[in-house]
Amino acid sequence: MKFEEPTSDNLFDRAMVIGKATPRIDGPLKVSGQAPYAYERHDVVEDQLVGYPLGATIGRGRITAMDTEAARNAPGVAAVVTTLDIDPLEISSFNNARLFGGNEVRHYHQAIAVVVAETLEQARHAAEMIDVTYEEEEGNFDLEKAWQNGLGTDEADAETGNVDEAFASAEVTLDETYRTPDQSHAMMEPHSSIADWSDGENMTVWTSSQMIAWARKSLAETFDIDEDRIRVESPFVGGGFGAKLFLRSDAVLAALGSRAAQRPVKLTLPRPFIFNNATHRSATIQRIRLAAGQDGRLTAIEHEAAAHEFEGGGNEENPTNLTKLFYAGANRRVKHHDVVLDLPESSSMRAPGEASGLMAFEIAMDEMAEKLGMDPVEFRILNDTQVDPMNPDVPFSDRNFVDCLKVGAERFGWSDRNRKPGDTRDGLWMVGHGMAGAYRGAPTLTSGARVRLERGHLTVETDMTDIGTGSYTILAQTGAEMLGLPLEQVTVKLGDSRFPASSGSGGQFGAASSTAGVYAACVALREEIARRLETDDVRFEDGNVIAGNKAIPLEEISADAEITAEDTMEFGDFQDDLEIGTFAAHFVEVGVHAATAEVRVRRMLAVCDAGRILNPVTARSQVIGGMTMALGAALSEQLAVDKPRGYFVNHDLAGYEVAVHADVPDQEVIFLDTLDPAISPLKAKGVGELGICGVAAAIANATYNATGIRVRDYPITLDKMLDRLPETF
């Protein structure tokens, strides 16, 4: 099925199941420990061995020798495969850093060996016995230096109007530079796989992946084998945030270990290994210039940024992307420098580009509002746009950003905020209020599904994944809505390469795309049922198919034999002529300790515009998760680069500080009652990445409001404010 034009009213508008607050249908499995996560799938294949990785301990260079004798002779060891034992594996079209093979070391903790043994303890101990000799090479690990050299060079990526003239003649201007650090996904479940490639022919991988079809293709390319010989399963994923979009070394090492030991091998990346072995969000440096008239209307916007990437590319962290679209203004120039550094591979992390871009841009907007003497909410409302400002012929399909701002201001009590920076106290705490806007695109990807109706029970099969987002539940809701069934009569099976290929989970495209795929399959099933009833006028209600004045139970229709249907939703080119996006306004109250400058968030409010909310329970969970992640980004998360040695030093969860429960205050989420007919038949857009966008800047702005100290270098830690706090408190 092809989605060729914006949808008209349809059965989702009656919303019997879709849109209702529904607890996760897989919740009982999860809380009772029965949801099968990759590393614990002891029942899928017998005789599993355990693999343990060894990582390189230099940032760049080559391996001249590896002594594995002691490891091979260690108790319980079944196989040792080193990077010198095999030719360099192909770099798949989804990867940039090579995952294994050859003597070249391109980043710290690059996998250089896997040890396979009967137990984890034996494998881990034997891995430590491998003696590696390196020839170290000088590497380039310094983004700051590259920024200084690159600033102002190269052509603009996009430009309209006359930016220089607009700045020269502007009444009010801003020119500031902002920095965001390298960040880690730090999802709860580490990268984990069980691989069975015992015969060196057919490969089955039980893994933790956001994208089944990509994982399979990547494995085929990496090992140069036919895709048909590979099966991938990933029914449950304990968090991904982009870390599990692409094939990682866990699956590769497990497969190599399995082929060598001729038995299935399970392997999980140890936590301290993940930060440098796998991917991260690149640091960014961003210069933002704004120009406006005294009336508050933006006349010019310039955004120049740099982020680092692995040689070969792959970094999606372009902070200037949404600067093209978010606010009005006739003159605009954006430019992004992708700087090649010898650090581990930068790759997608929740809202790549938008997250870091808005961390900077929404501080700049706050600073500009202050220069103009305007309420930052009013300033944003004034500069709203309903069309792409660089291509005014392209409208937003459905943009309700102004409503987000107005509803948020009202609900938060914005009019009662602290107005003068540093003016409100609660004991030793300086209290501040801040807000920010958020914008994240709403892409869609082709998505397929198969549905089976048997004795009135519907089974949905698709290789879609549930990475904690609630896919199981919203796909069950979609099927139930389409067939007029209660939710209990729908089973959803996900994450298996034997099922039709879906969008997968990422880029906040999963919910919109995969529900549309299930919709398409259900339409095909309804047509098949209609065909059998020899009519084309059918309705599905209360477990019945209604043809004319006759109601036939679905149980009866599918009593003798299962009725199946399969289809794929493709999204038409008309979407390219529209800007389809999601929007939010965030409001935050913080306390800053007057003596120590510790920042603690006191309350948070998000108002979101993302079309139909398929399930308010799981959507809220997505948004508060994003807000929490952004809280960490604002106040504590930073991968510290050791510049002489070229690696992320704080590579464990004690050193890389994500927000903990005690950091997270009251969080409120309001979803506007909006619908976007241009996105899909369900009129629903994703929220998973919208939730992280803009939040950190709202915290930064609130911190400024509390203290009068503007920090433009994330995370906003106390050492950056201490010297500028009042002497007495």
Partner 1 sequence: MRPFTYERALDPVSAAARAAEVPGARFIAGGTNLIDLMKLEIETPDHLIDVNGTGLDEITVTEDGGLRIGALVSNTDLADHDVVRRDYPVLTRALVAGASGQLRNKATTGGNLLQRTRCPYFYDTAQPCNKRAQGSGCAALSPGAHSRQLGIIGVSDACIAQHPSDMAVALRVLDAVVETMTPAGDIRLIPLKDFHCLPGSTPEKESVLMDGEIITAVYLPPPVGGKQAYHKVRDRASYAFALVSVALIRHPDGSGRVALGGVAPKPWAMDEADAELPNGAKAVMAKLLEGARPTEENAFKIRLAERTLAAMLAGE
The set of catalytic residues is: 689
CA 657 to CA 652: how far, in whole Å? 9
Hey, is 186 helix, strand or coil?
coil
Tokens of 256: 């190599």
Shortest distance (Å) from residue 339 CB to partner 1: 18
Per-residue binding letters, 474-513, with partner 1 (x by CB under 8 A):
----------------------------------------
Contact between 650 and partner 1 per CB under 8 A? yes
The correct pick among 428, 542, 550, 556 for binding partner 1 (CB under 8 A) is 428
| Half-sphere exposure of residue 624: CA atoms within 13 angstroms, side-chain side | 16
CB-nearer residue toward partner 1: 311 or 642 = 642
Contact between 725 and partner 1 per CB under 8 A? yes
Stretch that binds partner 1, among 124-132, 159-167, 501-509, 543-551 (CB under 8 A): 124-132
Question: Treating both helix axes as pointing N-terminal to C-terminal, what angle do 616-635 and 695-707 enclose, rounded to 10 degrees?
Answer: 50
Shortest distance (Å) from residue 111 CB to partner 1: 14
Tokens of 726: 């009042």
CA 513 to CA 504: how far, in whole Å? 9
The count of chain residues that interact with partner 1, using the rule CB under 8 A, is: 43
Contact between 729 and partner 1 per CB under 8 A? yes
CB-nearer residue toward partner 1: 259 or 651 = 651
CA 374 to CA 566: how far, in whole Å? 55
- Tell me the backbone φ, ψ of residue 318, rounded to 5 degrees: -105, 100
CB-nearer residue toward partner 1: 532 or 724 = 724
Shortest distance (Å) from residue 653 CB to partner 1: 9
CB-nearer residue toward partner 1: 340 or 718 = 718
The correct pick among 549, 560, 573, 654 for binding partner 1 (CB under 8 A) is 654
CA 481 to CA 417: how far, in whole Å? 44
Q: Which of residues 84-123 bind partner 1 (CB under 8 A)?
A: 121
Hey, is 122 helix, strand or coil?
helix
The correct pick among 151, 340, 387, 640 for binding partner 1 (CB under 8 A) is 640
Contact between 70 and partner 1 per CB under 8 A? no
DSSP class of 189: S
Contact between 636 and partner 1 per CB under 8 A? yes
The correct pick among 84, 390, 523, 718 for binding partner 1 (CB under 8 A) is 718
CB-nearer residue toward partner 1: 594 or 692 = 594
Question: What pairs with residue 606 in β-bridges?
Answer: 586, 669
Contact between 263 and partner 1 per CB under 8 A? no
Stretch that binds partner 1, among 281-289, 401-409, 672-680, 716-724 (CB under 8 A): 716-724
Neighbours of 91 (CB within 10 A): 15
The correct pick among 300, 659, 679, 709 for binding partner 1 (CB under 8 A) is 659
Contact between 128 and partner 1 per CB under 8 A? yes
Contact between 65 and partner 1 per CB under 8 A? no
Contact between 600 and partner 1 per CB under 8 A? yes
The residue count for the chain: 729
Contact between 657 and partner 1 per CB under 8 A? yes
DSSP-derived pairing of the beta strands 131-136 and 61-67: antiparallel
Q: Which of residues 176-235 bind partner 1 (CB under 8 A)?
A: none
The correct pick among 595, 666, 673, 713 for binding partner 1 (CB under 8 A) is 595
CA 251 to CA 266: how far, in whole Å? 9
- Yes or no: say if 547 and 538 are a contact pair by the CB < 8 Å rule: yes
The per-residue DSSP string of 701-718 comes to HHHHHHHS----BSS--G
Instruction: Pick the closest to residue 502 from 460, 462, 452, 466 (CA basis).
Output: 462
Where residue 681 falls (left for φ over 0; alpha for ψ -120 to 50; beta otherwise) is alpha
State the SS3 of 344-409. Answer: CCECCCCCCCHHHHHHHHHHHHHHHHHHHCCCHHHHHHHCCCCEECCEEEEEECCCCHHHHHHHHH
Shortest distance (Å) from residue 624 CB to partner 1: 17
The per-residue DSSP string of 561-613 comes to S-EEEEEEEEE-GGGGGSB-EEEEEEEEEEEEETTT--EEEEEEEEEEE-BS-
Shortest distance (Å) from residue 138 CB to partner 1: 14
All residues at 6 or more sequence positions from 128 whose CB lies less than 8 Å from its CB, including other chains? none
Contact between 644 and partner 1 per CB under 8 A? yes
CB-nearer residue toward partner 1: 78 or 682 = 78
Cis geometry, peptide bond prior to residue 715 (ω within 30 degrees of 0): yes
Give first-to-last CA distance, the chain, whole Å: 66
CB-nearer residue toward partner 1: 308 or 651 = 651
Shortest distance (Å) from residue 121 CB to partner 1: 6
Contact between 63 and partner 1 per CB under 8 A? no
CB-nearer residue toward partner 1: 551 or 722 = 722
Burial class (CB in 10 A: 0-12, 13-18, 19+), 68: buried
Contact between 643 and partner 1 per CB under 8 A? yes
Stretch that binds partner 1, among 29-37, 215-223, 566-574, 629-637 (CB under 8 A): 629-637
Shortest distance (Å) from residue 632 CB to partner 1: 8
Shortest distance (Å) from residue 484 CB to partner 1: 48
| Half-sphere exposure of residue 619: CA atoms within 13 angstroms, side-chain side | 28
The correct pick among 14, 535, 660, 724 for binding partner 1 (CB under 8 A) is 660
CA dihedral sign of residues 489, 493, 498, 499: positive
CA 720 to CA 597: how far, in whole Å? 9
Contact between 124 and partner 1 per CB under 8 A? yes
CA 430 to CA 476: how far, in whole Å? 48
Contact between 131 and partner 1 per CB under 8 A? no
- Tell me the backbone φ, ψ of residue 434, rounded to 5 degrees: -150, 160
Contact between 268 and partner 1 per CB under 8 A? no
Contact between 645 and partner 1 per CB under 8 A? yes
Stretch that binds partner 1, among 198-206, 246-254, 468-476, 657-665 (CB under 8 A): 657-665
Contact between 14 and partner 1 per CB under 8 A? no
Shortest distance (Å) from residue 140 CB to partner 1: 13
Hey, is 116 helix, strand or coil?
strand
Look-up: residue for tokens 């994240």?
440
Q: Which of residues 18-57 bind partner 1 (CB under 8 A)?
A: 57
Q: Which amino acid is at 309?
A: E
Contact between 594 and partner 1 per CB under 8 A? yes
CA 67 to CA 517: how far, in whole Å? 52
CB-nearer residue toward partner 1: 561 or 654 = 654
CB-nearer residue toward partner 1: 72 or 229 = 72
Look-up: residue for tokens 């992640």?
629
Q: Which residues bind partner 1 (CB under 8 A)?
A: 57, 75, 121, 124-125, 128, 272, 428, 593-596, 598, 600, 632, 635-636, 640-645, 649-652, 654-655, 657, 659-663, 715, 717-719, 722-723, 725, 729
